[in-house]
A and B are shown apart, each in its own frame.
Chain A
Amino acid sequence: MKKFLTLVVSAGVVSAGAMMIAGVAQAATLDDVNARGYLQCGVSQGLPGFSNADDNGNWTGIDVDLCRGVAAAIFGDANKVRFTPLSAKQRFTALSSGEIDILSRNTTWTMTRDTQLGLNFAGVNYYDGQGLMVPSGLGITSVSELDGANICTNTGTTTELNITDYFRANNMSFELIAFEKADEVVAAYDAGRCDVYTTDRSGLAAQRTKLTNPDAHVVLPEILTKVPLGPVVRQGDDQWFNIVRWSLNAMINAEELGVTQANVGSMMGSNNPSIARLLGDEGNFGEELGLGNDWAANIIKAVGNYGESYDKHITPLGLARGVNALWNEGGILYAAPIR
């Protein structure tokens, strides 16, 4: 009996462990969110411009705005969202296990992640590229001078793969030192453990502010690879996927149509049919998503359009719109129309 009990207890412990991985059978995400009364959003552990908490624990950034937008679309209240800071390493497990509903954490869209990891990228909210930063004292001006370098970066990122590809393709040697959290990468680079710090160029601009002497470092001109960043959801729930995708599209379309946080009220009843469809005066686009028809109006009231969000969070980092401008203003930002 004692042996049997031991067996039972150990089996119980094993199953409990495995249950944490298995999670509870997933119903429709929208129903879960509605029943819970708030949205769970996975963000970074602190990346100025994208998702960063201030002294009072208020999260800001364009990734945060997207989550607030989705919350506004569902509840009409942008504050009904809880943020979970995640390391690059934890993020996908947190999403697949149902701990969060949306991963909005400057995450690179790649094919493996779409196919092998069981995820869906709902769009791109920032077109980035991988860059390299070096102390200006070294006198380095180009990536080609980096043969033999020690390079610091984050573990569990595409950055690790891209830098490896680049150095291999160019027959250059290097050592990679990969930390779990961005703060440690910055601290180690600042201490001189590495010659180079590599991550997305927007990340370099943001993390640079944390260095002892930000002006003593230069970002090299080369862009190693393209890095499209966007919000991610689990596969297998098309309705939820659509809600996230169209919340982002609504923000981009609003900028294109000139609907802003300030004028969204007066734009109601506009005779421009595109604006009327966006704001729910015409058609029942919101209902088709499982939301109210004022879903997009609520998003814009809460966080503004894409351009406003960008100006508020990314522009202060010194990053111009560049490719992230609208398609009709010289950029590549092009949202499918609401019709």
Chain B
Amino acid sequence: MKISELFSYLNDDRVRRIIAQVSLAGFVVFCFWWLITNTSQNLDQLNKTIGFDFLFQNAGFQIAPTLGTWLFSYEVGSSTYWDIYLIGIINTLLIAVLGIFAATIIGFLIGIMRLSNNLIFRSFATVYIEVLRNIPLLLQLFFWYFTVLRSLPDKRGKIDLIPGAISVNLEGLFLPYPIWHSGAGFAGIVLLVATIATMFMRRKSKNRQLLTGHPLPIWRITATIFAAAILMILVSVGIPMEWSQPTFIETGSVIKRGFDKTTAILVIPEMLAVWFALTLYTAAFIAENVRSGILAVSKGQAEAASSLGLSSGQTLRLVVIPQALRVIVPPLTSQYLNLTKNSSLAVAIAYPELVSIFAGTAMNQVGKEIEMFFMMMMVYLTFSLLTSAFMNWFNHRSKLAER
């Protein structure tokens, strides 16, 4: 083969593509090979092994009471590291769901306030956004935690929010829990049927509005259905539930004074602080998304709506927001993902979420860094992918139907 032939061969687009692909594939294989041999060599040197047996060992440490410890009835001595993993997931998930819920509501309110014609609303929203968005989340976390702590009485005192039911002190927020009586199942079924019936009527009302322009009097229908359902429950089974009475102990051992934890739901202050901080911080970003979404809807739309006689509330609800959503939803998804991932900062103030108890306490006891980080990455990856999938579905639903 002559040199010139070789060059023309190398200049062939197809050949170049194959060379590029093969060398890339080779590089990737090399990376993995290097990684695996190097890791196993290093682990050998440290006399460590890879394996997941540790998950079945007993975890010998106590965890602060949270939804996770309650769900899996965590008990030192019988609970394993696998339980720790699940508790961490539940606690992370809990804070993510509560945070997303509250941040969405506050974010929408602030975002709309920011565009309000009312000077006070508008300035409040601007200050809120600029302050919260520009202070690091970790500092806000500490601020909320220590503000909450410093402003409350210790566990031997209390502040009643609703006397006899909801109180708060340094141990946390004490809420009554429902105690169900027989007949609660029946009541549940009746309420479920009533809900399905209203949903059915709403759909029917909508269809009728599309066909004739006249909706059904839907609020009156809903009220009637629920009034009937509640009457039916009261007549047949009475009130099938009551609230627990949180008991406050003021005598006896100084350590045991305070609320009897078996008589109330305890929400620890660490969790409240994480929730406040994540919610308020993320809400500032969501508010900006909402604002940009609303501004993206052309002014003519709102003007047309008001010339049709829609009130400003109706204009916002029926015309502007549905169109704004297609701009709001994609960045909203990344805010949700941020919130979920930011929840890992909670370790700083002792909220027992995944990073705190699994990568923190548990990893220090068993030292399986690679396995445990892998397990944690999978959790966050799964959360994020599920959130994305849901939001993509929602985005698909809310985007403009293009004809």
Contacts and interface: CB of A to CB of B under 8 A. Distances in A.
Instruction: Say if A and B assemble together.
Output: yes
A140 B255 contact: yes
A138 B35 contact: no
Interface in A1-59: 1, 4, 8, 11-12, 15, 17-19, 21-26
Given A21-B39, A112-B365, A145 B255 contact: yes
Contact of B39 (A18, A156, A177, A193): A18
Given A93-B369, A156-B361, A168-B77, A176 B39 contact: no
A147 B373 contact: no
Given A24-B38, A192-B170, A193-B269, A148 B256 contact: yes
Contact of A156 (B142, B253, B360): B360
Contact of A175 (B44, B65, B269, B365): B65
Contacts of A195: 155, 255
Interface stretch (B82-90, B214-222, B346-354, B383-391): B346-354
B254 A138 contact: yes
A13 B364 CA distance: 27
Interface string B23-64: 011001001100100110111111110000000000011111
A105 to B, nearest CB: 13
Interface string B332-366: 00000000000000011110100011011101111
B367 A236 contact: no
Contacts of B367: 92, 96, 112-113, 116-118
B383 to A, nearest CB: 17
A187 interface: yes
A161 B21 contact: no
A117 B369 CA distance: 9
* Chain A contact residues: helix, strand, loop or mixed: mixed
A180 B364 contact: no
Nearest to B365: A112
B364 A191 contact: no
A334 interface: no
A132 interface: no
A157 interface: yes
B155 A150 contact: yes
Interface stretch (B93-101, B146-154, B192-200, B226-234): B146-154
Contact of B348 (A26, A160, A161, A179): A179
B76 interface: yes
A139 interface: yes
B39 A192 contact: no
Contacts of A112: 365-367
Given A155-B347, A155-B350, A164-B62, A21 B253 contact: no
A157 B38 CA distance: 29
Interface residues of A, number: 64
A235 interface: yes
Contact of A234 (B31, B46, B171): B46
Given A96-B46, A116-B366, A235-B46, A177 B64 contact: yes
A164 B76 CA distance: 8
A11 B28 contact: yes
Contacts, number: 168
Given A155-B361, A191-B149, A21 B370 contact: yes
Contacts of A140: 254-255
B270 interface: yes
A88 interface: yes
Interface in B245-284: 253-256, 268-270
B350 A149 contact: no
A178 interface: yes
A181 interface: yes
A93 B371 CA distance: 13
A184 interface: yes
A22 B348 contact: no
Contact of A193 (B149, B352, B360, B369): B149
B62 A180 contact: no
A213 to B, nearest CB: 15
A25 B44 CA distance: 11
Contact of A147 (B65, B154, B256): B256
A180 B361 contact: no
Given A157-B364, A180-B356, A19 B35 contact: yes
Given A18-B35, A176-B63, A236 B45 contact: yes
Nearest to A174: B62
Contacts of B63: 176
Given A118-B47, A193-B170, 13 more contacts: A1-B17, A21-B369, A96-B46, A155-B357, A157-B364, A160-B61, A160-B62, A161-B61, A175-B65, A184-B349, A193-B149, A236-B45, A236-B46
Interface of B: 17, 21, 24-25, 28, 31-32, 35, 38-39, 41-48, 60-65, 76-77, 142, 146, 149-150, 154-155, 170-171, 253-256, 268-270, 347-350, 352, 356-357, 359-361, 363-367, 369-370, 373, 377
Closest CB pairs A-B (n = 4)? A118-B46, A236-B45, A117-B367, A156-B364
27 contacts: A8-B25, A11-B31, A15-B35, A19-B35, A26-B42, A89-B359, A89-B361, A96-B369, A116-B48, A118-B43, A119-B46, A138-B254, A138-B255, A150-B171, A155-B360, A156-B360, A156-B364, A175-B62, A179-B348, A179-B349, A179-B350, A180-B347, A192-B170, A193-B149, A195-B155, A195-B255, A237-B45
